Structure 1
Amino acid sequence: MTFSGKFKFSLFHPNHLSIFRGVIGGVLPFLIFANSPAAHLVAVTLFILGAITDYWDGWLARQYKLESKFGKWIDPFMDKILILAPLAAFSKLGFFSPWWLVPIFAREIVVTFCRTAWLLEGKSFGAEKLGKLKFVFQVASVFVAFGVFVFWDYASTEAIARWFAPLLLPVIALTVLLTLLSGFFFLWNQRGHFASQGFVRFVLACGVGLFPKAPGTWGSLAGILLVFLTSWNLGLYLVSMVTLLVVGQEMFRRLEDKSDPDPQYVVIDEVVGILVTFLLIPVTWVTVPIGFLLFRLFDVIKPFPIRKLERIPGYWGIMADDIGAGIYAWIILFLIFA
């Protein structure tokens, strides 16, 4: 067995390091929200360690020829968790407006979604220079926020925190600019792939609809995730809903195989239905499971007039019955919680 073969089972395999980086990102908000200076120090230490592993896993993959399709997907995906989780936490604490995060989150979600679809089709992408620069500034944004956050815990270092504080918004602003530019050029360079049928099906499936079992349930869960991401602002929520409707219509128009009037893998309608369910409804750990179950119930039993809506030909028939199920669920949630 070669050294690279042995490496596949090592803790320091590039993919393992990438996953470790994602775990760090998931833990960081809990440490940031903890009312403990020690926890904050642990958080910044873990973040630095996570940022180092981003360089390390790439070097190992190239050095020992351990590059793989999964590695090309998991590495940038875990980068996003490492960056977005602490940024969201700092925004929640009032370090900057959440609107600064909207373009960052939107870019990362769209690019990750497209990259996943194209990787599944066998297309390969290397890291672009602008994307690397974007990541450097994203790391810098988190680091500056940590500088304000951690040094403010101690009276002896408050002066350092005051030095970091004026840097935060300019660094965030530059990060947003680079994030948008890198996303635009990535999508522009790959624009020829948007017409592929694999990509069209992936969009209509919202990725999760391609799972072999319970695609509708997975689509509804994807909708719940979108509810959590957008429900803090009504305008953003409505824009997300309209965007899904428009994109879904365009993708369905491009779908070549329309022999099945309502393909099982198409779950973009479930996502929209879930958004309808929680429109203007308080999003809590009580309302979410109840709304989810109500939507799934009405989507399955299809009370009047949902069954008739389903018979509308084409895309709007696919969409209408789930919107109807969402309205039924919304009425009950509104009567109970609004």
Structure 2
Amino acid sequence: MPAAKKTPKATVPVEMKRPATINDIARLAGVSKKTVSRIINHSPLVRQDTREKVETLMREVGYSPDPLARGLAFRRSFLIGMVYDNPTAQFIVNMQYGALDSLRGSGFELVVHPCDSRSPDYVDGVRRFVQQQKLHGVMLVPRVSEDPALAAMLDSIGMRYVRIAAVSMDRPERMVVTHDHDGAAEVADYLQSLGHRDIGLITGPRDYRSSIERTGGFLSALQKRGIELPKSRIVEAGYTFESGVAAAEKLLSGKKRPTAVFCGNDEMAAGVYRVAMREGISVPRELSVVGYDDSPLATRLWPPLTSVRRDTRDTGRIAAAMLIQPEDDLRPLASVRPHLILRDSCQPPG
């Protein structure tokens, strides 16, 4: 009998004219499509040598599984959504980086949905986004995370979600708490310890829970030390650089200026720097300034800005990790505790 022909070993084409498919991977590796699917989804039912061979091939041809197609095949989605309405771009970018840290290697992908929470139909818009994308779960970023109507809608359609907020507003397994009250209280203690008593406060929008907690934490800590801020020393702004400039103009325009200013975020603190420079006010010799968030901006200002660090990237990482936990093992993973980072923007009043 003639000898049986040996099946030639599959070789990887030098350049594919189209993106590789799962069928291409199976054919080139000499395995079934089902085996490739098991490897993509980290099944233990595949021999290690086969797994290594297929994974090497996928890297060489640049194959990337389509999360939507996987969702159809497995009757569940491999997409995590992030819904936000926040004016601070760096905050959103850091939150995305954190989520991607958690999702990397998990088979899940991140899709984002910016929205206007002041629009009357924004909850319906989020519902459409969730249902059209067939999401596995949703991260809710401040300020939308503070909206009970949005959380109730997601609950009504059976959608997993995690809310990131300054205080607990839901069941523990649905919350990442950032404890903004405590972070602002630390600022008050620090400024008082330097000897400041005439202090200005630039808050975020009054309908943001983070602003409520930071304002409350700062004022209550000062009151415990016998310091009451008059209304003229408290200015509401919008968490933006431009609103920080406008607020600083109000605080620094009088003959008697505060000796220190606490800003509800670093963007507004940068606005204070702008006005101080324009008016010839030295930071920190004549005016101490403290921000919140400890964003990259804090170290780019001169002098470098003292700011409250709340690790936004870590917050996003925790929220995404909670969403991809097995449903029978839902549990809170951690809170994110803020702490003050001291730099050169503060000194005792002259």
Shared fold (TM-score, shorter chain, > 0.5): no
With structure 2 as the length reference, what TM-score do the two structures score? 0.22
Which structure's relative contact order is higher, taking Cα pairs within 8 Å and 6+ residues apart?
2
Q: Computing the radius of gyration over CA atoms, which structure comes out larger, 1 or 2? A: 2
With structure 1 as the length reference, what TM-score do the two structures score? 0.23
Bigger fraction of residues in helix: 1
